[in-house]
A and B are shown apart, each in its own frame.
Chain A
Amino acid sequence: MIEFKDVSYRYDERQPPVLERLSLRIPDGQYVAIIGPNGCGKTTLSKHLNALLLPSRGEVGVDGLNTRDPSGHRELRRRVGMVFQNPDHQIVGMTVAEDIAFGLENLAVPPGEIAIRVREALERVGMAGCGPRAPFTLSGGEKRLVSLAGVLAMNPRWLVLDEPAAYLDAAGRRRTLAMVASLHREGMGVVHITHDLGEAAAAERILVLERGRLIMDGRPDEVCAFLMSEAQREIEPPAMAVLMARLRQSGWDVPANVISLEAAHRGIHEYLLKLARSGVPS
């Protein structure tokens, strides 16, 4: 379980806090999305999860490990795998295999086992055989998958993804998000930071941050309803929810608070089928 107890964080004492009195619990294996406008503290929050940042006030615990205890940092970093926004800033190896091995070398895994785990991680992200390639020959999507493989090789219990679909084309984005969904199905806890509510719809729970404060915590449909009701907020409500709200205003009996294209399509399709069955011309 991940637990934030009354956490505040300031980069500079003269500046207002980036995180303010944040308290939350994420049970094992849950898929949580964190959304919010630029500068609301999403990345700062994620960096607290594996002790890259320590709270100015309050405490952060992951699976019983307090992030303030330096003796637990190595284990913490094994448990919480972090994929940064820009893979170019994360890939440290001169070949793909060396990059994936980096974390394992830091954990002092025996060399024979490293080779096996590197191969497995590459297979897991669908990049088997790419080990000898140099990072600068990879596409954006492939770099993202290499970053993910580097983290997966360490067998983490939690996966923290900072804007995993940033810099990717549509195919790369689909591939990465499908991979994340599959890892969650295998039981891994996921903390997914994003601007895009469409991406966040895949989560079981969405946290909404605004100026370092948690202003909403709920299921995707609850968060959607909240954003629709609080239109003056800095976060745009999802386009699908706006569309469905307008259809409802026009008298269509379609579900409200829908985030994903698939759910909107399903709702409209069912409504049209109902109309056809009742004999009303559409």
Chain B
Amino acid sequence: MTDRLFPAAAPVVSPLRNVDPRVKIAAAVSLSILVFQAGPGQIVLLSLFLALLIVLSGGRRRDVVRILKPIALFAVLLFFLHALFTPGREVLRLPLLPAVTHEGLAQGGTVAWQFAALVVTGGLLTLTTLPSELVAALDKLLRPLRIFRVPTQDLAVMAAMALRFAPTFLEEYQRMKTARLARGGGAPGERLSRKLRTTGRMAIALILGALRRAEELAAAMEARGYARGPRTSMRELRLTRGDYAAVAVMASFTGLFFACRLFM
């Protein structure tokens, strides 16, 4: 379970792994924008670029499958909804259903691809970056907001805590589920109303546990000197030549993308 949450607990050694996390976050944001701007011609270009990134990430086929598996059903659903409910030239008529249109198929294909491409982009980011590196990058990227008195350091620490305690909550949830099973609850065929009631109770118990834990965690953090004020970070983020090269590649690709949009 924790592996699923933290695929990057020990990220694979790869060219993308070595890129500065700030560059990777910026590239992921840029790619996400391009995904929404893509027409049919650019979809091919972006797909090729994403495939290249997958190779550079050192990710194996099973990593890509792991990233896409949870959203596959939703992507298919998106495709069919668009295919059936977009007005246009009729391609196919199915009994009891609206007609499938040419425009609907194109629209459904695009939307499903956009959804999958976004998930792959995010997946590549977490596959090649340690959660702590993401937090450190977030802290640096948000830093300009300090002039508006946004507590960026606290936000970064909050993000780190959320990531740190996600596996603990999952463990707690599993323990509760096991305890429930041990007392005869959650058996197959249990009524939905009963299931919902028990889930509600478990959620309340989890929230109360989380609050108690948060209080103890706050005391532990304070005891180790956590307070507003100057702070350093073990992870010193410094841009290298490789990072500048990555920025250049991303900028060139963005240029190529918009050139394609203009001329295709």
Q: Give how many B residues have a beta carbon under 8 Å from the other chain's beta carbons.
A: 35
Q: Are B232 and A105 in contact (CB under 8 A)?
A: yes
A50 beta carbon closer than 8 Å to chain B: yes
B10 beta carbon closer than 8 Å to chain A: yes
B234 beta carbon closer than 8 Å to chain A: yes
Q: Are A98 and B132 in contact (CB under 8 A)?
A: yes
A88 beta carbon closer than 8 Å to chain B: yes
Q: Are B167 and A136 in contact (CB under 8 A)?
A: yes
A232 to B167 CA separation, bound complex (whole angstroms): 46
Question: Quick one: which of B9, B131, B164, B236 contacts A92, CB cutoff 8 A?
Answer: B164
Min CB gap A12→B, angstroms: 16
A201 to B234 CA separation, bound complex (whole angstroms): 39
Beta-carbon nearest neighbor of A73 in chain B: B227
| Complex interface bits, A103-135 against B, C-beta within 8 A gives 1, otherwise 0 | 111111111001100100000000000001011
Beta-carbon nearest neighbor of A78 in chain B: B225
Question: Quick one: which of B167, B223, B234, B235 contacts A77, CB cutoff 8 A?
Answer: B223
Evaluate whether A77 and B225 lie within 8 angstroms (CB atoms) in the complex, with A108-B232, A118-B234, A136-B167 already known.
yes
A250 to B167 CA separation, bound complex (whole angstroms): 57
Contacts of A60 in B (CB 8 A): none
Q: Are B232 and A111 in contact (CB under 8 A)?
A: yes
Q: Are B224 and A102 in contact (CB under 8 A)?
A: yes
A90 beta carbon closer than 8 Å to chain B: yes
Min CB gap B41→A, angstroms: 41
Contacts of A135 in B (CB 8 A): 164
Contacts of B222 in A (CB 8 A): 52, 77
Beta-carbon nearest neighbor of A80 in chain B: B223
Contacts of B232 in A (CB 8 A): 104-105, 108-111, 114
A151 to B225 CA separation, bound complex (whole angstroms): 11
A97 to B137 CA separation, bound complex (whole angstroms): 18
A118 to B235 CA separation, bound complex (whole angstroms): 13
Q: Are A108 and B216 in contact (CB under 8 A)?
A: no
Q: Are A101 and B234 in contact (CB under 8 A)?
A: yes
A95 beta carbon closer than 8 Å to chain B: yes
Interface of chain A: mostly helix, strand, loop or mixed: helix
B91 beta carbon closer than 8 Å to chain A: no
Beta-carbon nearest neighbor of A84 in chain B: B220
Min CB gap B206→A, angstroms: 15
Question: Quick one: which of B2, B219, B231 contacts A108, CB cutoff 8 A?
Answer: B231
Question: Quick one: which of A91, A94, A118 contacts B163, CB cutoff 8 A?
Answer: A94
List residues of chain B with CB under 8 Å of any chain A CB.
Answer: 2, 6, 9-10, 130-132, 135, 160-161, 163-164, 167-168, 171, 213, 216-217, 219-227, 229-236
List residues of chain A with CB under 8 Å of any chain B CB.
Answer: 47, 50, 52, 73-74, 77-78, 82, 84, 86, 88-95, 97-98, 101-111, 114-115, 118, 132, 134-136, 150-151, 154
**A–B Cβ pairs within 8 angstroms, 11 of them:** A74-B227, A77-B224, A94-B132, A94-B163, A102-B221, A102-B226, A103-B224, A106-B226, A114-B232, A136-B2, A154-B224
Closest 3 CB pairs of A and B: A106-B225, A103-B224, A101-B234
